[in-house]
Structure 1
Amino acid sequence: MMQSKSTGCRLWLAGAVMLVALTACADRTPTATEAAAVPDVADGALIPKPARLEQGDGAFVLSVDTPLLSADAAAEAVAVRFADYLRATRGLELGTAVGGADEGAVHFALDPAFDGGSPEAYRLDVAPTGVRVVAAEPAGLFYGAVTLWQLATTQAEGDIRIPSMRIEDAPRFGWRGFMLDSARHFQSVEQIKKLLDAMALHKLNTFHWHLTDDQGWRIEIKRYPKLTEIGGCRIPAGDAGIDPASGKPRPYCGHYTQEQIRDIVAYAAERHITVVPEIDVPGHAQAAIASYPELGVTGERPPVSNEWGVHSWLFNVEEETFVFLENVLAEVVELFPGEYVHIGGDEAVKDQWESSARVQARMRELGAQDEMAMQGLLVERLEKFLAGNGKRLIGWDEILEAELPPAATVMSWRGIEGGIEAARKGHDVVMSPSSDLYLDYLQTTLPDEPPGRPATITVQDVYAFEPVPAELDAGQQKHILGLQANMWTEHTRFDERLEHNLFPRLAAVAESGWTPAADKNWDDFRRRLPMQLQRYRMLGIGHAQTPFQVAIEVDDDRAAGIATVALSNPLGYEIRHTTDGSMPVATSPAHAGPFEVALPAELRAAAFFDGEPLAEPQTFVLDPASLLVRTDEQLAICPDAGRLLLRLEDDGPADGERAIFNATIFYPCWQWNAADLDGIGAVKVRLGRIPYYFQLAHDEPSRHFEPAVTAHGELMVHGGGCEGELLAQLPMPAEPGADGFVELEAVLPPPPAAGRQDLCIRVTGDTRPAMWVVDRVGLVPGRP
């Protein structure tokens, strides 16, 4: 379906009426207050919060004349990196030198005698006469430099005054990770490096790189060139896979050469980040099997998948396939010098193995009692191979479902239960539960969220996650290496959307990974967060605006010509608003609870911290016409629709922004709760159609729909909920209109429905390989 729906930075009322953004998606220039502010406490709004900070008297002034001195070449490398970050964010050019003891300088020193309890520990002393950063290891010295950089960026311009203090700091966990999925959507080398810089400035030290999946093989393997020649390309579903000029298939391609990977690994290492590659087995293998069909179970060549979800294609269990995987890993271990290699192991549904006589015979040959034991034998084989090459194996928590080699490490994603089981069995664990640390999940319920997966994981949710379960005893808790946030990219085509999803939630991950648990405090973190947003702007990072926007709920009384308005901010920041057409400022009325406005009304509101708006003020237009319309974002999920609400993107145009729809794929159904039907003669529904691009594996039987009566199904409108009275039923067309949409008007039958009712809206029939999605619903006046 080609786009005609307004997208991108469109803003709608959360559960009420349409709103208009004053300035959509504009970068906000730091205000004069932000530029001049010096923190009133010595912490400089540091994120992550250091383990120990003592405030002194006075301040050090950092200027263009301040020398950066180092005791040796290793320390100078850190000084140079500090100078680079300061130049990029404050435009300050500082010289570096080895040796010297000038007063008024910043000194970086490696001291083997320094004992901070961790190779990443450091001490930072700031006095009016100079600054000294000391650590035993380069990593610790670098993190001390990062802290100093944060202190130097509390003001956007003007003199840099750093309050006197001593910081003694070390991380809580050794694994502070971030995973990026480059298989579903591909990022450029430049974007990867930008993310590595951002990780370093959050003191994150592990970059887990998901390089292979059903939708793409992204790493060059010289012995098997077809993995990238064939497996590195797919034809996107629908209009996105059609060249608009020629009408021919338009492949989506991308892979990293081994030279590019070495460059990225070296770039990460300079920032004290270890790269952990992932080669997923035995499932998520469709791109590999598309490249070399002999690796599969059936011998058939599937396409590189253009669908999301859980696929059925598995590597077979022949000796030749095991050797293939070892040959792949042999090239991988040469490219990645870190300790770990990730072998996946997740979501490998065993249907193909179960139905294959050859696989069953092979299992008997190898002594595998069942299919999970067969996967365990594969894990054991790869673990021995990796160990022989000086590496440790790590996999998703499904690898626990078979006997696991003692040295294997478990990454717990299906909650924390897998991590608890693994730790009790003596395995090291990285906590990465989808319920708390998946950054492709929406972070607010506001309509400006980009496409994403179900549920909402707010900044506060991420911050609240505790990686060490209380159920473990002290000895078992030592197996918790740390935590990791994961970013899957099925719905993330653009770098801007990627940065929206990561920031500021990655700041919450950073603090949980670094700061002692007893020192974490949400209200304190929320106080420090606005300064972090300023740093993001300095770095050119497009952080999410939605956590700092305003949501509005409107309860209207059309007959009386009034509406009751309630405003909220997802993170609980103060809201100020106006109703006289002026922009909200620090002295505008603070929102203290629901209030009434006469219709029509124009309301402007913004969330504030320390007297400054955190995002662009928003304009909400409330009038009788807008109160009769709900967009898909404003409609509720039907009670029987299931939990899998997705924010889905249209399939066209091939390039640029596309329409976005909220839909439940297991039971597509939308509900306008408490719709006021007094005086309403019809319901007008605008629908679009997009490809149904989901593989559900064993969840497929859970998908259901109402049976169709006519050839293409019907639009059904019920009052009083989906089990209530059928108000209208209209046949659907075979195809949408030229603009990709169809608009149907369902006349309400006599006697007129009246009062407030829950309107349930569905399309009957199984319409795959496409699906109808609601764009908006309108109530049409026309009855007494």
Structure 2
Amino acid sequence: MKLRALIIVLSLLIFSCSNKEAKVFTETDIQIIPKPERLKLGEGHFEFNKNTVFFTTDVSQSAAAQILIDKFKTVQGWDLKTVETLPKSNYIQFKTSEDIKKEGYKLLAENNIITIEANNFNGFLYGIETLRQLLPVEIESQVKVESIDWVIPNIDIVDAPRFKWRGLMLDVSRHFFQKEYIKKTIDRLAYHKMNTLHLHLVDDQGWRIEIKEYPKLTQIGAYRVDQEDKPWDGRYTPSLDEKATYGGFYTQDDIKEIVAYAESRGVNVVPEIEMPAHVTSAVASYPELSCLGKPVSVPSGGLWPITDIYCAGKESTFEFLENVLNEVLELFPSKYIHVGGDEATKTNWKACAHCKKRMKDENLNSPEELQSYFIKRMERFISSKGRVLIGWDEILEGGLAPGATVMSWRGVKGGLEASEQGHDVVMTPGTHCYFDHYQGPMNTEPLAWGGNTPVSKVYEFDPIVDSMSDEQAQHVLGGQANLWSEYVPTESHSEYMIYPRIAALSETLWSPKKDRDWLDFSYRMESLFKSYKYQNINYAKSAYTISSDAKVNDATNTINVSLKNEFPVSDIRYVLNGASLDSTAIAYSKPIEIKATTTIKASLYKDNKPVGKVFEKTFNYHKAVGKKVVYNTKYHNSYKGKESTNMVNIIRGTKNFHDGQWQAWLVNDMELTIDLDEEIEIQDVSVGTMEHQGPSIYFPTQIEVLLSKDGKAFKSVGKIDRPYKNNASIILKDFNIHFDPQKARFVKVKAKNLKKTDKGGDTWIFIDEIVVR
């Protein structure tokens, strides 16, 4: 009996040593982005080890499996195998099923077997990408890792995309990115279950694709004079004899490599060859392509208006474009060929003898109809090659080519119009899909094009507009993000602008609309950020950045300041007036009431410690707060700010001139009077202004302050003259007028508008607060 008992004890010890404690998963452990269509969590788990194999029956299945095999080789050194004979256990099997939607998949994980069913390569690929997100985030490590249990929960997933076009546009013309970065981007698109990479290969500032019949396109057009040390809109026009050194291009072999790599990741590469505008780089290479035929240089930076465009009257223009496209079509198997078609200033067409003759011969009544002729002609050529022309929504102007697809960027109007006419559309409105916009408070972010498109706003995007009929909705192929690169000079900066916003877009384009929930998504983003870190992605942490929203109580002249970031549930803490942000900081739970000049400092806290960027803002009380303002010249209806209280509400405008805190005057001068209610002593008046010359916002050329006791007789107490200066930056500036202390009840402020730019355009002045001390 003693021997038997000893055997039993030893057996129990051996059993307990050889079996790890079972991992128990809950639904909060499942943090897949984009969210699957249907998911059911089971009991138990599947564990990957060095003996796990992949059972495949064709090349596409093996190609999908290889992505995960390569991951395990990096993080564990395992050389996992694909096999053609079904094992007994510890394997991932692939099954082809015609019943599953295109790009969809089923994933069933059981204790010893994982099954992925799909009907094409993309479906198998996306099943693998889901496995990557079910595994510990260390699977994304670029180096070997230790002490990780490579387990996933037993789970049943049925998944398929909502839209078939899920894209990202990279502008490689304004700033050139190397082939290796393009391939990294393709990998990351596949990780997010995105299937389209739109390459903007041609623009004024650079021609980026080798065309063998026209070698000057890359010899000349691919390079510009290096002015990268200057702001984009502050670069001079180079002379023709200056050496051009900045740029680069993809050889045809590079393009073939990129396209083949994209195919291995389920990504279709759509080339964009701009026409008839945004082609100064081509005109610099072959001046005869333009109406004027005169030599020009490749612009180093901002160019507006764009007048050196292809001549629509010369047959040689169309011969050139068809020859270029013939080579492009050989390189890109994409069904869609993008021709741009946007922002063509037709000044030269109106004066060109060739264009006039074309309009007469074709019975065209306007330059817009001439552009329509141009696009329709190119559409016929592209269609004859078995492809589909796609262009920006300007191709609607003058009449849309019969087989064309429209990419709607100026809001959704173009998509509505095209779909109503029976054309397919890709929705990419600037409001939600332009990744060159800021994604956090402008004062905390790198310089961007303008506008504010945080990740939460991207998550609100839906390609189908509520007003669309069911028939129109059938024409919506999907959506796309666009990253224009005027202000994106490096690959690291490009990553910063793309991630994590591309994750939000991926879910809006993949997941059922009814299942979308920002709180749930923001929770899953925490795991995604860890994955990004292991993938060495320079992702933006702007969603953590604290911003404020202040409201003035006009009756009491107090301010209620709300603090927030993009995460609905955040531990934000704050201090006032120079106190230290430490463990004693006040937990934010409701708006902070301010009754005097106050500085608020705040931070997001994790594990009881401040993390991320510190928010700091001072709210300055002054003698005019809440007083009556009479506008002697009314502000423009487009920029009303807070109307009658705007100039004396303490709340300052930001570099985002759409933030609702600015009042503006177009061409007109500003003149207003503040009534202080009674005579008080004052000695200082400052005027808050902005300059952002890109959208024609200029500092006033003169500011004058006048005082009065009765509101009738005013006396000037100071004047600032500021002649126009060229400035390519965004600047916020308080113009201060100081004078000897004196009593007054009324303060009149005048600001003179520049009125016209050096190119003849109308100018704005923007004012946000008048501080009286």
Question: Could you tell me the TM-score, scaled by structure 1's length?
Answer: 0.76
Q: Distance in 1 between matches of 2:247 and 2:705?
A: 43
Check whether the contact 1:70–1:98 (CA below 8 A) recurs between aligned residues.
yes
Q: Which letter maps to 2:105? A: Y
* CA drift at 1:109: 1.3
Aligned residue in 1 for 2:306: 311
Q: Which letter maps to 2:278? A: H
Q: Please tell me whether residue 116 in structure 1 is matched to residue 100 in structure 2.
A: yes
Q: Distance in 1 between matches of 2:286 and 2:480?
A: 33
Check whether the contact 1:549–1:615 (CA below 8 A) recurs between aligned residues.
no
Aligned residue in 2 for 1:177: 167
* CA drift at 1:130: 2.8
Check whether the contact 1:426–1:476 (CA below 8 A) recurs between aligned residues.
yes
Equivalent pairs counted in the alignment come to 691
Helix, strand or coil for the counterpart of 1:454?
A: coil
TM-superposition CA deviations, 1:224-269 (whole Å, max 9, x none): 1221222222336696369xxxxx8774322222221111111111
Check whether the contact 1:600–1:622 (CA below 8 A) recurs between aligned residues.
yes
Q: Distance in 2 between matches of 1:190 and 1:84?
A: 18
Q: Please tell me whether residue 537 in structure 1 is matched to residue 537 in structure 2.
A: no
Per the alignment, do residues 760 and 125 of structure 1 end up closer, same or farther by CA in structure 2, a change over 3 Å counting? farther
Deviates more, 1:254-263 or 1:506-515: 254-263
Q: Distance in 1 between matches of 2:617 and 2:454?
A: 27
Check whether the contact 1:440–1:487 (CA below 8 A) recurs between aligned residues.
yes
Aligned residue in 1 for 2:424: 428
Q: Please tell me whether residue 263 in structure 1 is matched to residue 262 in structure 2.
A: no
Per the alignment, do residues 191 and 719 of structure 1 end up closer, same or farther by CA in structure 2, a change over 3 Å counting? farther
Helix, strand or coil for the counterpart of 2:174?
A: coil
Helix, strand or coil for the counterpart of 2:587?
A: coil
Q: Please tell me whether residue 751 in structure 1 is matched to residue 745 in structure 2.
A: no
Helix, strand or coil for the counterpart of 2:295?
A: coil
Q: Please tell me whether residue 47 in structure 1 is matched to residue 33 in structure 2.
A: yes
Q: Distance in 2 between matches of 1:758 and 1:443?
A: 38
Among all aligned residue pairs of Structure 1 and Structure 2, give the percentage whose two residues are the same amino acid: 32
Q: Provide the alpha-carbon RMSD of the alignment.
A: 4.8
* RCO higher in structure (CA 8 A, sep ≥6): 1
Aligned residue in 2 for 1:629: none
Q: Which letter maps to 1:148? A: L
Check whether the contact 1:545–1:615 (CA below 8 A) recurs between aligned residues.
no
TM-superposition CA deviations, 1:79-132 (whole Å, max 9, x none): 1112334566x5674523223544553414142x342122x1111111222322
Check whether the contact 2:287–2:294 (CA below 8 A) recurs between aligned residues.
yes
Helix, strand or coil for the counterpart of 1:198?
A: helix
Helix, strand or coil for the counterpart of 1:574?
A: coil
Q: Distance in 1 between matches of 2:730 and 2:507?
A: 45
* CA drift at 1:595: 5.4
Query: Within 5 Å, which residues of 2 pair with 1:171-250?
Result: 171-235=161-225, 240=230
1:78 is aligned, of 64, 87, 95, to 64
Q: Distance in 1 between matches of 2:92 and 2:349?
A: 62
Q: Please tell me whether residue 148 in structure 1 is matched to residue 131 in structure 2.
A: yes
Helix, strand or coil for the counterpart of 1:485?
A: strand
Helix, strand or coil for the counterpart of 1:616?
A: strand
Q: Please tell me whether residue 289 in structure 1 is matched to residue 283 in structure 2.
A: yes
Per the alignment, do residues 484 and 329 of structure 1 end up closer, same or farther by CA in structure 2, a change over 3 Å counting? same
Q: Distance in 2 between matches of 1:758 and 1:126?
A: 74
Q: Distance in 1 between matches of 2:201 and 2:497?
A: 20
TM-superposition CA deviations, 1:679-719 (whole Å, max 9, x none): 974568999999x567xxxxxxxx5868x8xxxx4466799
* CA drift at 1:489: 1.5
Q: Distance in 2 between matches of 1:568 and 1:662?
A: 18
Q: Distance in 1 between matches of 2:279 and 2:65?
A: 44
* CA drift at 1:760: 8.7
Per the alignment, do residues 45 and 747 of structure 1 end up closer, same or farther by CA in structure 2, a change over 3 Å counting? same
Check whether the contact 1:683–1:778 (CA below 8 A) recurs between aligned residues.
no
Aligned residue in 2 for 1:279: 273
Query: Within 5 Å, which residues of 2 pair with 1:470-489?
Result: 470-489=466-485
The answer for unaligned runs of 5 or more in structure 2 is 1-22, 140-146, 237-241, 622-633, 642-653, 659-663, 709-713
Aligned residue in 2 for 1:61: 47
Q: Which letter maps to 1:74? A: S
Q: Distance in 2 between matches of 1:149 and 1:321?
A: 50
Q: Distance in 2 between matches of 1:109 and 1:286?
A: 51
- Larger CA Rg, structure 1 vs 2: 2
2:92 is aligned, of 107, 125, 140, to 107
Helix, strand or coil for the counterpart of 2:27?
A: coil
Q: Which letter maps to 1:592? A: K
* CA drift at 1:323: 0.4
Query: Within 5 Å, which residues of 2 pair with 1:548-559?
Result: 548-552=544-548
Helix, strand or coil for the counterpart of 1:278?
A: strand
Q: Distance in 2 between matches of 1:726 and 1:546?
A: 46
Q: Which letter maps to 1:56? A: G
Per the alignment, do residues 768 and 61 of structure 1 end up closer, same or farther by CA in structure 2, a change over 3 Å counting? farther
Per the alignment, do residues 310 and 735 of structure 1 end up closer, same or farther by CA in structure 2, a change over 3 Å counting? closer
Q: Distance in 2 between matches of 1:412 and 1:267?
A: 28
Q: Distance in 2 between matches of 1:726 and 1:489?
A: 48
Q: Which letter maps to 2:114? A: V
* CA drift at 1:134: 2.2
Check whether the contact 2:703–2:719 (CA below 8 A) recurs between aligned residues.
yes
Helix, strand or coil for the counterpart of 1:378?
A: helix
Deviates more, 1:197-206 or 1:419-428: 419-428
Q: Distance in 2 between matches of 1:257 and 1:303?
A: 22
Check whether the contact 1:48–1:507 (CA below 8 A) recurs between aligned residues.
yes
TM-superposition CA deviations, 1:579-636 (whole Å, max 9, x none): 4745469x9734333156999978442066xx798952526487999xxxxxxxxxxx
Aligned residue in 2 for 1:606: 604
Check whether the contact 1:308–1:490 (CA below 8 A) recurs between aligned residues.
no
Q: Distance in 2 between matches of 1:133 and 1:155?
A: 22
Check whether the contact 2:704–2:720 (CA below 8 A) recurs between aligned residues.
yes
Q: Distance in 1 between matches of 2:620 and 2:401?
A: 67
Q: Which letter maps to 1:77? A: A
Per the alignment, do residues 268 and 754 of structure 1 end up closer, same or farther by CA in structure 2, a change over 3 Å counting? farther
Q: Distance in 2 between matches of 1:290 and 1:596?
A: 59
Check whether the contact 1:444–1:546 (CA below 8 A) recurs between aligned residues.
yes
* CA drift at 1:67: 3.5
The answer for unaligned runs of 5 or more in structure 1 is 1-36, 243-247, 626-637, 646-659, 695-702
Q: Distance in 2 between matches of 1:235 and 1:419?
A: 38
Deviates more, 1:187-196 or 1:768-777: 768-777
TM-superposition CA deviations, 1:746-767 (whole Å, max 9, x none): 3246536799x99997775767
Aligned residue in 1 for 2:82: 97
Q: Distance in 2 between matches of 1:379 and 1:614?
A: 56
Q: Please tell me whether residue 574 in structure 1 is matched to residue 574 in structure 2.
A: no
Q: Which letter maps to 1:301? A: P
Q: Distance in 2 between matches of 1:758 and 1:102?
A: 87
Q: Distance in 1 between matches of 2:158 and 2:167?
A: 23
Check whether the contact 2:48–2:150 (CA below 8 A) recurs between aligned residues.
yes
* CA drift at 1:56: 0.9
TM-superposition CA deviations, 1:242-297 (whole Å, max 9, x none): 9xxxxx87743222222211111111111010000011111212221122111111
Aligned residue in 1 for 2:373: 377
Per the alignment, do residues 121 and 421 of structure 1 end up closer, same or farther by CA in structure 2, a change over 3 Å counting? same
Aligned residue in 2 for 1:730: 720
Helix, strand or coil for the counterpart of 1:751?
A: strand
Question: Could you tell me the TM-score, scaled by structure 2's length?
Answer: 0.77
TM-superposition CA deviations, 1:465-514 (whole Å, max 9, x none): 22123433333322211111111112222323322221221111111111
Per the alignment, do residues 614 and 267 of structure 1 end up closer, same or farther by CA in structure 2, a change over 3 Å counting? farther
Aligned residue in 2 for 1:519: 515
Q: Which letter maps to 2:573? A: H
Per the alignment, do residues 476 and 733 of structure 1 end up closer, same or farther by CA in structure 2, a change over 3 Å counting? closer
